[in-house]
């Protein structure tokens, strides 16, 4: 059955699809969004994960840095992100921990001095992050422009020594040169490995590091007020107010195109036609729909564990858990541990002590819990386990999920004064394969495919980083250049690519 013809059809109702749709609708285009699932939002959903508890958890993505203020202002989103006073806490040894505030302060300095009485690590930390901040500030505004070439961007940023160690040499090199302590090295490295199955000495880790540090020019990771679903609700509001049609339970199963239009066949039997097609679905999903060759990417490599707690657990170090879990809590994430777990996982071994990071959303924003749970002292923990590639789960996902959960909890329990199991009210565990099944991220890759550098190579065609081999089809999701993360950037850029042609 063929119906109305749209200017633009968008496959996927993730946050990027909604951003693209709204920009296009406001420019006068007719737009229809087709989402396979009964829920909108893709990896940016908040869900009442445990039906018996009034708690709306950010089921997949949980922190925001990359969403530019420009998109929030352009679209008029009534949406707020809250700063965390604590940046991170990393327990080590029998009862110690490295505490880092969002801005360098006496408490942070003392904590660094306990770890390294020479004071060198603390100074190295301040110097390194001041340099990275300078770089971030210069690169962030370019993300909403057509891609610059490598040489153009390098010239514009004009910070050659930093360019060299962030872009051209493996990130592991600068980390091991500038820092000597294994714990501190690990805290720096973690931003290079989130969702990226790589060694510290693979350039892919540099790209991941870059995206984790350049958000909005500051790289600060903030808590979405009301959970990630609050962003999506606002995006749905502005999209529908702008005239976008959103269809849920509308899985695309085939795409074909002519020189004049693109047809999308749905599982329901409907065929939706547009002058242009945007794919918010991953490039691999789009390739399968079009019957073209499938691009290869790294496996997704993370566990996402959502936990509701009766109360926060006590720590061996004696730090107030309200401080320890208010920022990112790292366990078993030293540089050497990362490298050795990576090698083991590559050889098919589940880590015995999974490198994990977690944070307690409710310490910054209790509003994701109903009043009764808040009054009773409940808290949430979102746990992200690293270096658990999809291949570890291929044999038997259920058995491997149990093993991974055991490894993650045992990693955490190393630093707790009481087993975490004693304070868990409810828990949900998502492997890369579970994530693929739920929201079609190929092999659970949280960035849809391998992240790419935020420039095009010299001598290549001008581009927004969203084009495909078909002039009527564009990528508007995380799989575009400068995609990955909750940013809306590929959504904005795909809309601009279409509008600049018309
Ligand atoms: C566990 C996890 C934790 C993360 N943590 C963070 C974080 O804290 N901060 C951060 O910035 N990023 C994080 N990310 C990454 C971030 O969530 C994603 O990169 C981002 O949400 C991608 O948004 P998107 O709109 O491009 O695509 P998605 O959110 O993936 O949405 C794509 C949509 O397309 C739909 N779709 C796919 N195929 C079809 C089809 N055939 N027909 C119709 N619809 C289809 C899907 O159902 C989905 O709704 C995380 C991701 C995961 C999985």
Q: Is residue 8 part of a domain?
A: yes
Write out the E strands in 392-480: 424-430, 473-475
Dihedral (CA of 223, 227, 228, 231) sign: negative
Alpha-helical regions (H) of 291-355? 321-324, 335-346
> Ligand 1 within 6 A of 381 CB?
no
pLDDT tens profile 80-113: 999 999 999 999 999 999 999 999 999 999 999 9
Domain residues for the domain of 284 are 2-44+68-79+225-296+444-501
Q: Is residue 34 part of a domain?
A: yes
Which atom of ligand 1 has the smallest separation from the CA of 266? Answer: 42
Phi/psi at 165 (nearest 5 deg)?
-80, -20
Query: Tokens 């495909």 sit at which residue?
Result: 468
> Which pair of tokens denotes residue 96?
């110690």
For a pocket test of ligand 1, which of 39, 46, 57, 60 has the largest count of ligand atoms closer than 8 A to its C-beta?
60
Q: Are 266 and 273 in contact, with CB atoms under 8 Å apart?
A: no
State the Cα angle at 197 between 439 and 436, rounded to 5°.
15
Instruction: Name which residue sits closest to atom 22 of ligand 1, judged by CA.
Output: 478
Write out the E strands in 12-117: 31-34, 46-48, 56-58, 81-82, 86-92, 96-101
Question: What is the rounded distance in angstroms from the CA atom of residue 475 to the CA atom of residue 283?
Answer: 7
Q: How far is the CA of 485 from the centre of ligand 1 (A)?
A: 8
Q: Is residue 18 part of a domain?
A: yes
Q: How far is the CA of 441 from the centre of ligand 1 (A)?
A: 7
Q: Are 465 and 457 in contact, with CB atoms under 8 Å apart?
A: no
Q: How far is the CA of 444 from the centre of ligand 1 (A)?
A: 10
* pLDDT number for residue 1: 55
Q: CB under 8 Å to 101, separation ≥6 — which residues?
A: 85, 86, 87, 107, 108
Report strand pairing: 56-58 vs 96-101: unpaired
Q: Is residue 266 part of a domain?
A: yes
Q: Is residue 317 part of a domain?
A: no
Give the mean model confidence (pLDDT) for residues 192-214.
96
Give the mean model confidence (pLDDT) for residues 227-231.
97
Dihedral (CA of 322, 328, 333, 335) sign: negative
Phi/psi at 341 (nearest 5 deg)?
-65, -35
Instruction: Give, as one character, the DSSP assignment of residue 142.
Output: G
Q: Are 20 and 11 in contact, with CB atoms under 8 Å apart?
A: no
Question: What is the rounded distance in angstroms from the CA atom of residue 31 to the CA atom of residue 245?
Answer: 6
> Ligand 1 within 6 A of 232 CB?
no
* pLDDT number for residue 502: 72
Instruction: Name which residue sits closest to atom 32 of ligand 1, judged by CA.
Output: 14
* pLDDT number for residue 211: 93
Q: How far is the CA of 144 from the centre of ligand 1 (A)?
A: 20
Helices vs. strands in the chain: H and E counts, helices first: 18, 18
- Residue 324 region, left (φ>0) first, then alpha (ψ -120 to 50), else beta? alpha
Q: Is 90 helix (H, G, I), strand (E, B) or coil?
A: strand
State the Cα angle at 41 between 37 and 44, rounded to 5°.
130
Q: Are 457 and 329 in contact, with CB atoms under 8 Å apart?
A: no
> Which pair of tokens denotes residue 42?
């893709």
Question: What is the rounded distance in angstroms from the CA atom of residue 386 to the CA atom of residue 304?
Answer: 9
pLDDT tens profile 268-309: 999 999 999 999 999 999 999 999 998 888 999 999 999 999
Nearest CA among 189, 174, 207, 135 for reference residue 485: 207
Q: Is residue 406 part of a domain?
A: no
Instruction: Name which residue sits closest to atom 37 of ligand 1, judged by CA.
Output: 281
Q: Which helix (H) or strand (E) holds 358?
A: strand 356-359
Give the mean model confidence (pLDDT) for residues 236-259.
98
Q: Which helix (H) or strand (E) holds 307?
A: strand 303-309
Whether 135 shows a pLDDT value over 80: the answer reads yes
For a pocket test of ligand 1, which of 307, 446, 475, 490 has the largest count of ligand atoms closer than 8 A to its C-beta?
446
> Ligand 1 within 6 A of 99 CB?
no
Give the domain CATH number at 22.
Answer: 3.50.50.60
Whether 417 shows a pLDDT value over 80: the answer reads yes
* pLDDT number for residue 134: 96
Q: Which helix (H) or strand (E) holds 439?
A: helix 432-439
Q: CB under 8 Å to 406, separation ≥6 — which residues?
A: none
Q: Is residue 10 part of a domain?
A: yes
Q: How far is the CA of 207 from the centre of ligand 1 (A)?
A: 19
Residue 188's pLDDT band, with cuts at 50, 70 and 90, is very high
Burial class (CB within 10 angstroms; exposed 0-12, middle 13-18, buried 19+) of 98: buried
> Ligand 1 within 6 A of 252 CB?
yes
Q: Is 193 helix (H, G, I), strand (E, B) or coil?
A: helix
Instruction: Name which residue sits closest to atom 15 of ligand 1, judged by CA.
Output: 485
Query: Tokens 């999701």 sit at which residue?
Result: 477
How many residues comprise the chain?
Answer: 502
In angstroms and rounded to an integer, the radius of gyration of the C-alpha atoms of the chain is 22
Q: Is residue 14 part of a domain?
A: yes
Query: Tokens 């999308």 sit at which residue?
Result: 264
> Which pair of tokens denotes residue 484?
């990955």
Q: CB under 8 Å to 247, separation ≥6 — which residues?
A: 32, 33, 34, 35
Number of domains the chain contains:
1
pLDDT tens profile 303-330: 999 999 999 999 999 999 999 999 999 9
Q: How far is the CA of 94 from the centre of ligand 1 (A)?
A: 38
Which atom of ligand 1 has the smallest separation from the CA of 39? Answer: 49
Residue 2's pLDDT band, with cuts at 50, 70 and 90, is low
Q: Which helix (H) or strand (E) holds 223?
A: strand 223-224
């Amino acid at each position: 059955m063929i119906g109305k013809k749209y200017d633009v059809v968008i496959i996927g109702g993730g946050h990027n699809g909604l951003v693209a749709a709204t920009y296009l609708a406001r420019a006068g285009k007719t737009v229809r969004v087709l989402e396979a699932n009964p829920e909108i939002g893709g990896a940016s959903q908040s869900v009442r994960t445990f039906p018996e508890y009034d708690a709306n958890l950010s089921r997949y993505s949980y922190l925001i840095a990359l969403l530019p203020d420009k998109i929030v202002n352009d679209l008029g989103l009534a949406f707020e992100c809250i700063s965390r006073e604590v940046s991170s806490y990393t327990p080590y040894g029998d009862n110690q921990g490295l505490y880092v505030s969002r801005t360098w302060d006496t408490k942070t300095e003392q904590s660094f001095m306990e770890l390294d009485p020479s004071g060198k690590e603390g100074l190295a930390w301040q110097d390194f992050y001041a340099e990275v901040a300078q770089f971030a500030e210069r690169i962030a505004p370019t993300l909403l422009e057509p891609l610059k070439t490598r040489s153009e961007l390098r010239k514009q940023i004009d910070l050659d020594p930093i360019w060299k160690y962030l872009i051209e040499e493996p990130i592991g090199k600068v980390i091991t040169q500038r820092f000597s302590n294994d714990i501190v090295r690990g805290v720096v490295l973690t931003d290079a490995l989130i969702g990226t199955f790589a060694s510290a000495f693979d350039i892919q880790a540099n790209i991941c590091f870059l995206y984790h540090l350049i958000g909005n020019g500051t790289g600060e990771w903030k808590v979405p007020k009301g959970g990630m679903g609050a962003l999506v609700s606002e995006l749905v509001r502005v999209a529908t107010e702008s005239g976008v049609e959103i269809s849920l339970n509308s899985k695309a199963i085939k795409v074909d195109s002519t020189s004049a239009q693109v047809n999308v066949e749905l599982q329901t039997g409907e065929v939706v036609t547009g002058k242009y097609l945007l794919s918010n679905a991953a490039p691999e999903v789009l390739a399968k729909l079009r019957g073209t060759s499938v691009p290869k990417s790294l496996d997704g490599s993370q566990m996402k564990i959502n936990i509701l707690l009766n109360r926060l657990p006590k720590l061996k170090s004696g730090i107030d858990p309200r401080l320890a879990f208010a920022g990112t809590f790292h366990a078993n994430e030293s540089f050497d541990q990362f490298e050795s777990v990576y090698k083991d996982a590559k050889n098919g071994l589940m880590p015995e002590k999974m490198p994990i990071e977690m944070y307690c959303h409710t310490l910054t924003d209790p509003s994701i819990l109903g009043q009764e749970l808040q009054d009773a002292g409940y808290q949430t923990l979102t746990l992200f386990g690293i270096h658990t590639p999809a291949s570890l789960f291929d044999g038997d996902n259920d058995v491997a999920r149990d093993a991974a959960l055991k490894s993650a909890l045992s990693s955490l329990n190393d630093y707790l004064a009481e087993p975490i199991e004693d304070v868990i009210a409810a828990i949900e565990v998502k492997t890369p394969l579970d994530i693929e099944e739920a929201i079609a991220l190929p092999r659970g890759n949280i960035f849809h495919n391998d992240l790419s550098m935020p420039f095009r190579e010299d001598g290549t065609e001008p581009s927004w980083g969203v084009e495909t081999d078909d002039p009527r089809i564009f990528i508007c999701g995380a799989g575009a250049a400068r995609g990955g993360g909750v940013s809306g950037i590929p959504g904005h850029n795909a809309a601009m690519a279409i509008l600049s042609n018309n």
